[in-house]
Structure 1
Amino acid sequence: MEDIQTRENIILIMRKFYDKLLTDNSINHFFTKTTDVSNHLEEHFETLATFWEQALFLKGGYKNNMFQKHLDVHQKSPFNQEHYQTWLQHLHTTIDENFKGENAEQMKTMTQSMATIMQIKFSQ
């Protein structure tokens, strides 16, 4: 199994990850009711790919404030501990099913850090 190396690899992860999220009734409402992400997934995947290219490969190009975007969702429908754990489980499983290596491990570490920071900031 190879490591995450390209934008296409990231988009593959996001597609498979969102397949899991959208079929999980404990979390899918964030994508189908709280927001309309499920109505424009391909555009969302491109945004996510740009974010992860910047985070993993230092390519630049991501201009949004990821934390603010998630805070806006949290204010409409609060995230709880189970939501963070479900999100991480689905993402980490998706990465592990498809990739192995330094970038794959880095992506999992970064997502764990992001979830932890969101939990701290959003609970204040």
Structure 2
Amino acid sequence: MRDIETRKDILLIIRNFYDSLLKDQSINFYFTKASLVDQNLEEHFDVLATFWEQGLFLKGGYSNNMFQIHKDIHDKHPFTHEHFEIWLDHLYSAITENFEGNKADQMKTMALNMATVMKIKFQ
């Protein structure tokens, strides 16, 4: 199995990730009701791919405030510790089912760091 190398690889992970998230009744509310992300997935995937490209490949281009976006949702519909764990499990699965290597590990570490910071900030 190869490592994450391109935006196309990131998009594969994101699509697999969202396929599983949207099927998961314990968390899909945040994507279908709280944020309505599911109504324009391709646009959302493009934004997410830019975010991950910036983190993994130092490409730049992401200008949204990711923490504020999630804080706004949390303020209306609080995330629990379990929601973060479910989110991480789905993302880790989407990564490990397709890739292995330094960038795959880096993406998992970045996700864990983001979830940890959000849990602390949103208390």
User: Quick check: TM above 0.5?
Assistant: yes
TM-score by length of 2: 0.99
After superposition, give the CA deviation of every residue in 1:39-80 in whole Å (9 maximum; x if it has no partner).
000000000000000000000000101101110111111000
Partner SS for 2:97: helix
Alignment of 1:106-121 (within 5 A): 106-121=106-121
Corresponding residue number in structure 2 for 1:68? 68
Map 1:20-31 → 2, pairs under 5 A: 20-31=20-31
Distance (Å, rounded) in 1 between the aligned partners of 2:117 and 2:61: 23
In structure 1, the partner of 2:43 is: 43
CA distance in structure 2 between the aligned counterparts of 1:106 and 1:60, rounded to whole angstroms = 17
* 2:62 alignment partner, SS class: coil
2:79 maps to 79
Matches of residues 49-64 of structure 1 in structure 2 within 5 Å? 49-64=49-64
> Percent of aligned pairs with the same residue?
62
1:19 aligned residue: 19
User: How much does 1:35 deviate?
Assistant: 1.1
Q: Distance in 2 between matches of 1:102 and 1:111?
A: 14
Distance 2:40 2:76 in 1: 19
Pairing 1:10–2:20 present: no
How many residues in Structure 1 have an aligned counterpart in Structure 2?
123
Cα distance, 1:20 vs structure 2: 0.5
Q: Distance in 2 between matches of 1:75 and 1:15?
A: 27
- Shift in Å at residue 28 of structure 1? 0.1
**Aligned residue type for 1:35:** S
Taking only aligned residues, the RMSD between alpha carbons, in angstroms, comes to: 0.4
Matched residues in 2 for 1:50 and 1:35: separation? 19
- What are the ranges of 5 or more consecutive residues in structure 1 without an aligned counterpart? none
Aligned-partner Cα distance in 2 for 1:34–1:95? 25
